[in-house]
Amino acid sequence: MSTATPTRPRRETLNLRIPAAERNLIDRAASSAGKTRTDFILEAARRAAEEALLDRALMVVNPAAYSEFIKRLDRPAQSNARLRRTMQAKASWKTA
């Protein structure tokens, strides 16, 4: 009985020319994160690309919906238990 070999998506090559000091910095960071240089760079580039695109998201709404949105933004915040808990909680980066 033969087993089918899973097919992997084709990967493209991306060549970069960078100064040795920058490559060494990337290598040290990748090593400290337990990743290969390629995985480290791909993750950082993907994250930067997503952030760049999300920062440019455009929402189109009709004038009535926009007016209601602005009214809600201009209203003072209403105190509630969840908001009080959030405001009293210590920042996660300060609890360590």
Q: Which domain holds residue 61?
A: 20-75
Tell me, yes or no, whether 53 lies in a domain: yes
Beta strands in 1-94 (DSSP E): none
Which DSSP string corresponds to 37-54? HHHHHHHHHHHHHHHHHH
Residue 9 has pLDDT above 90, yes or no: no
According to the model, what pLDDT value does residue 1 have? Answer: 55
Please indicate, yes or no, if residue 24 is contained in any of the structural domains. Answer: yes
- Going by pLDDT thresholds of 50, 70 and 90, the confidence category of residue 4 is low
Mean pLDDT confidence for 1-19: 80
Q: What is the dihedral of CA 70, 76, 82, 87, to 10 degrees?
A: 110
- Counted domains in the chain: 1
Please give the pLDDT value at position 27: 97
| Amino acid letter, residue 53 | L
93 is a domain residue: no
pLDDT tens sequence across 23-36: 999 999 999 999 99
Q: Is the dihedral of CA 82, 85, 88, 89 positive or negative?
A: negative
pLDDT score for 2? 58
Distance from first CA to last CA of the chain, Å, rounded?
Answer: 55
33 within some domain: yes
| CA 15 from centroid of its chain's CA atoms | 24
Quick check: is 40 in a domain? yes
pLDDT tens-digit map of 45-90: 999 999 999 888 888 899 999 999 999 999 998 889 998 898 899 8
**Structure tokens given for 95:** 């609890």
Is 4 a domain residue?
Answer: no
